Amino acid sequence: MLRVLVTRPEPGASRTAQQLRETGFQPILLPLTETVALPVDAGLVLDAAVAVAITSANAVRHAPEEVIAALAALPCHAVGKRTAEAARKAGFLSVSEGPGNAEGLADSLAADLSGKTIVYLCGRVRFPAFEQELKAASVHVHAVETYDTLQVGYSDEAILERLSGQSADAVLLYSVKAAAAIQTLARRPALHRLFEKTWFFALSARIAAVLDDTASERIRIAAQPDEEALLALLRA
């Protein structure tokens, strides 16, 4: 049974672990990042906004109820399926599901929203392309940061205990921060042997690029930047 290291934060890590068990893998939970809520003033929400954009389910999960309430009646544009589900669960009344990546969502919004203002629920750590593309199309993006992403530190002893002193066959990487963290772990003298033959499965080329000097011949990139494609790549 292949041992698969799951590096994403909770609650997603446990959900991924369950899917892995159901398909014959042995998951090992090692969250390398954690998400924490940021204080948000509901007064930051602009009356002039005509829509809401969300590129991360965490942005909805960590948003205060009063912020969601202030925005719930606006059209909500979610980056993909999982984020759309989170938005509906939070209370948004009209949610559209995007193509699965931030750039594609920006493309779909640019033409219709030129000259208008949208609220962007997001994290403090985020890829800038979404906002840059909309700004270039004269869309006014008002970013409301609802959460931050922090790196989780582990001692050598904690890693050895978590992996039972045995190598990981595969690692699932969902973020640049996690990829940087796993590369640092793999370079530690006490841990190096655990990752000598490990395959790395990345959600995107941007994430994989962090590992280019670690194990370039053992890196695979999902066809689409979503977990369904990532797990399909692992099974293949």
Q: Say how many C-beta atoms besides its own lie within 10 A of residue 86's C-beta.
A: 20
Do 40 and 116 reside in the same domain of the chain? Answer: yes
d(CA 6, CA 128): 26
pTM for this prediction:
0.84
Number of domains in the chain: 2
157: left (phi over 0), alpha (psi -120 to 50) or beta: alpha
**40 plus 140 within the same structural domain:** yes
Cβ–Cβ < 8 Å for 106, 126:
no
- Tell me, yes or no, whether 121 and 161 share the same domain: no
Residue 213 is predicted with a pLDDT of 67
CB 180 within 8 A of CB 169: no
Q: Residue 214's pLDDT is what?
A: 61
Q: Who contacts 143 (Cβ-Cβ below 8 Å, separation ≥6)?
A: 120, 122, 131
| Whole-angstrom distance, CA of residue 161 vs CA of residue 5 | 13
Q: Please state, in angstroms and rounded to a whole number, the distance separating the CA atoms of residues 84 and 106.
A: 15
Q: What is the pLDDT of residue 41?
A: 81
168 & 199 share domain = yes
Please say whether the beta carbons of 115 and 138 come within 8 A: yes
Query: How far apart, in whole angstroms, are the C-alpha atoms of residue 42 and residue 87?
Result: 17
Does residue 67 sit in the same domain as residue 143?
yes
Task: For residues 126 and 42, state if they share a domain.
Answer: yes
What domain range is 231 assigned to? 3-32+152-235
Boundary of a domain, candidates 109, 127, 149: 149
The dihedral over CA atoms of 9, 91, 48, 102, expressed in degrees to the nearest 10, equals 40
pLDDT along the chain (236 residues), means of 10: 94 93 96 94 80 96 94 96 94 94 92 94 92 96 95 95 94 94 94 94 92 79 89 92
Shared-domain flag, residues 20 and 83: no
| 67 and 107 assigned to the same domain | yes
Tell me, yes or no, whether 104 and 137 share the same domain.
yes
CATH number assigned to the domain comprising residue 164: 3.40.50.10090
Of 149, 174, 207, the position where a domain reaches its end is 149
- From 98, 117, 149, give the residue that closes a domain: 149
Q: What kind and span of H or E run contains 61?
A: helix 57-61
